[in-house]
Amino acid sequence: MPKLPIYLDNNATTPTDPRVLDVMLPYYTEKFGNASSRHHAYGWTAEDAVDLAREQASALIGASPDELIFTSGATESVNTALKGVFETYRPKGNHLITVASEHPCVLDTCRHIEKAGGRVTYLPVGSNGLINLQELRAAITAETLLVSVMYANNETGVIQPIRAIGEICREKGVIFHTDATQAVGKVPVNVIEEGIGLLSFSAHKLYGPKGAGGLYIRRKDPRVRLKPLLEGGGHEKGLRSGTLNVPGIVGFGKACEIAALQMEQDAKKLSALRDKLEKALLEIPGTALNGSAPDGPEDYRLPHVSNIRFDGLKGDLLMSAMPDLAISSGSACTSASPEPSHVLLAMGLSEEEARSSLRFSLGRFTDPADIDAAIGICRQAVERLRREGAH
């Protein structure tokens, strides 16, 4: 019997892998030094641990260790990247390009930049969740400083054509930033091969601790320069002042090391479980998959995510009828908002369709029994609510 409630909300956060926690614990107690304390062994031990984590995290994305700074998470990394580029390169232009279906941390940062005098183009997406590359190319002007496109969507799992976007940005001489929070550790990511200039990611999405994240900043061909978001102390090459979260960073590095070793087998296992879940739920009358592309490549979506619409039923009502399932109706960052998903609206769904959609995101510790039970719970809840005429 699976442990209840069954956790299928891994895009919101993942449980910390026990192997990650094991390496973190000593840095709260006997190895508690400040990594900036350069005059004694406690500081040296902490600094060595941070250096190792930087190697582990940068290796996962194909970067050099000196191209990665540690942050408190992806939101800080995104803010540092977008605001940093705008402030640094403002003499050259004031135009940024992003996508209507981005995470709120990107959209809200872009709105801040607009208030500061910037101009932002929000590219639309098709019904499959993908941007049109021709529209991207046409949107780039001589004033464009940066293009920010999410690697994989947090609500639908849709993967954008990152390599092609990188090629367009390189051709046009524009910096390419990607919020790769949901992709890193789940699918192969290589900043060099994909032409990425800035990349944001977070530990707690890949079985690491909350409160630790990273920002990749390309150092050559071309070198990306940023003005810091935080001042005071000059930590992280002056780009992120503040005492380093050594235990969190250690855990982040270990989580990245494990992901590099297990990514392929995790993806194979999860895609099989995800497909089983999808097949069963889509057999329920009045259901549909959001972000599907019958003619798309196999890697069009993350291997562990399904966003399914249950026509005629409100998602929050359906979730309340399934207390033994931990799932969501969209981004955890907007779960308190009464508004329908902006991602699904951008894909052309009506407000009613968006409100009737639920996200199932599997994880490393999901097993077949969890999926079998989830299918049964969901079927019963849908049938009961429709029988009762609930809307």
Q: For residue 104, is the peptide bond before it cis, meaning its omega torsion is within 30 degrees of 0?
A: no
At 337, is the pLDDT very low, low, confident or very high (cuts 50, 70, 90)? Answer: low
Do 189 and 272 fall within a single domain?
no
Report yes or no: 154 and 132 within 8 Å, Cβ to Cβ: no
Catalytic residue from among 110, 256, 333, 378:
333
Do 300 and 221 fall within a single domain?
no
Q: How many helices (H) and strands (E) does the chain have?
A: 11, 12
Residue type, 238: G
pLDDT exceeds cutoff 70 at 155: yes
What number is the average pLDDT over the span 262-279?
A: 97
pLDDT exceeds cutoff 90 at 281: yes
What number is the average pLDDT over the span 124-129?
A: 95
Helix (H, G, I), strand (E, B) or coil at 57: helix
Q: Does residue 81 lie in a domain region?
A: yes
pLDDT exceeds cutoff 70 at 372: yes
The answer to whether residue 333 is catalytic is yes
Locate 349 and state its tokens.
């769904």
**339-358: per-residue pLDDT in tens?**
899 999 999 999 999 999 99
Do 101 and 219 fall within a single domain?
yes
Q: Does residue 1 lie in a domain region?
A: no
CATH assignment of the domain containing 215: 3.40.640.10
What is the rounded CA–CA span in Å between residue 5 and residue 183? 26
Do 182 and 68 fall within a single domain?
yes
Domain count, the chain: 2
pTM: 0.95
Domain final position from 221, 256, 291: 256
What pLDDT, on the 0 to 100 scale, is given for residue 300?
85
Q: What are residue 88's phi and psi, to 5 degrees?
A: -70, -45
Do 209 and 98 fall within a single domain?
yes
What number is the average pLDDT over the span 36-58?
A: 96
DSSP annotation string for 291-310: T--TTS-GGGB-TTEEEEEE
Q: Which residue has the tokens 């951008």?
A: 346
Helix (H, G, I), strand (E, B) or coil at 223: coil
Do 150 and 245 fall within a single domain?
yes
How close are the terminal C-alpha atoms of the chain, in Å?
Answer: 31
Q: Does residue 118 lie in a domain region?
A: yes
What pLDDT, on the 0 to 100 scale, is given for residue 20?
98
CATH assignment of the domain containing 340: 3.90.1150.10
Do 233 and 273 fall within a single domain?
no
Nearest to 8 by CA among 373, 382, 391: 373
At 293, is the pLDDT very low, low, confident or very high (cuts 50, 70, 90)? Answer: low
Do 269 and 229 fall within a single domain?
no
Q: Does residue 26 lie in a domain region?
A: yes
Domain final position from 190, 224, 256: 256
What pLDDT, on the 0 to 100 scale, is given for residue 249?
98
Nearest to 61 by CA among 215, 207, 210: 215
Q: Does residue 42 lie in a domain region?
A: yes
User: Over the chain, what is the mean pLDDT?
Assistant: 94
Q: Does residue 181 lie in a domain region?
A: yes
Do 244 and 141 fall within a single domain?
yes
The residues, any chain, with a CB within 8 Å of residue 388's CB and separated by 6 or more, are: none
Domain final position from 235, 256, 277: 256
What is the rounded CA–CA span in Å between residue 130 and residue 118? 25
Q: Does residue 377 lie in a domain region?
A: yes
What pLDDT, on the 0 to 100 scale, is given for residue 241?
84
What is the rounded CA–CA span in Å between residue 187 and residue 58? 15
63-85: string of b/e by CB count within 10 Å (b at 16+)?
bbeebbbbbbbbbbbbbbbbbbb
Do 119 and 71 fall within a single domain?
yes
By CB atoms closer than 10 A (0-12, 13-18, 19+), residue 174 is buried
What pLDDT, on the 0 to 100 scale, is given for residue 167?
98
Q: Quick count: other Cβ atoms within 10 Å of Cβ 211? A: 17
Report yes or no: 96 and 119 within 8 Å, Cβ to Cβ: yes
Helix (H, G, I), strand (E, B) or coil at 185: coil
Task: Outline where DSSP puts E strands in the chain.
Answer: 6-7, 68-71, 95-99, 119-123, 144-148, 175-179, 198-202, 213-217, 287-289, 305-310, 325-326, 357-361
At 336, is the pLDDT very low, low, confident or very high (cuts 50, 70, 90)? Answer: low
Report yes or no: 48 and 74 within 8 Å, Cβ to Cβ: no
Note down the domain range covering 94. Answer: 18-256
Residues above pLDDT 70, as percent of the chain: 95
Do 218 and 91 fall within a single domain?
yes
Report yes or no: 53 and 64 within 8 Å, Cβ to Cβ: no
Do 240 and 268 fall within a single domain?
no
Q: Does residue 123 lie in a domain region?
A: yes
